[in-house]
Amino acid sequence: MRRTRLFLLVGAALLLLALAGAWQWRVREGNGSAALARGLAALDKGDARTARIELMNAIKADPRSAAARIGHARALVKLGDGAGAQADIARGRKLGAAAGATRALMADALLLQGDSDGALREAQATDVTAKTAPAAARVVARAWLARGI
């Protein structure tokens, strides 16, 4: 009898732990933070296709996430979709992403669309952050090459 009661108590405790874990997982999936984390990790690994899907899931869960929009724009630039990236960067900026931190990315998106003048304006803006300055310099060089100068 004592052994049966012990097994029942242990079983009930394990069931409660499993339910709590499932609830935590569902809460995290519901607000898009897990999809955002997976998308950014995929971008860091160089897997732009997976990142695009995960970041679209994050945007679907939280359409007002500037981080998800900017991450999605990064994936789109890597996939060669300049127009889509430009739209996501604009939305991200409206949602609070700093313009200076997204200048190099926007310049890259514009350059993909063949707008070397716009890319130069974005990449040479005075508010480019120190973190994105090397990327902006690379875009400036590619924009000048595209212009044939």
Structural tokens at position 29: 């999936």
Q: Which domains does the chain have, with CATH numbers?
A: 30-97 (1.25.40.10), 99-149 (no CATH)
pLDDT in tens, the chain (149 residues): 677 887 788 887 887 787 777 667 565 555 678 899 999 999 999 999 999 999 999 999 999 999 999 999 999 999 999 999 999 999 999 999 999 999 999 999 999 999 999 999 999 999 999 999 999 999 999 999 998 87
- Mapped onto helix, strand or coil, the DSSP state of residue 127 is coil
Cα–Cα distance for residue pair 142/74, rounded to 1 Å: 17
pLDDT, one tens digit per residue, over 51-74 is 999 999 999 999 999 999 999 999
Is 85 within 8 Å of 77 (Cβ atoms)?
Answer: yes
pLDDT, one tens digit per residue, over 27-42 is 555 567 889 999 999 9
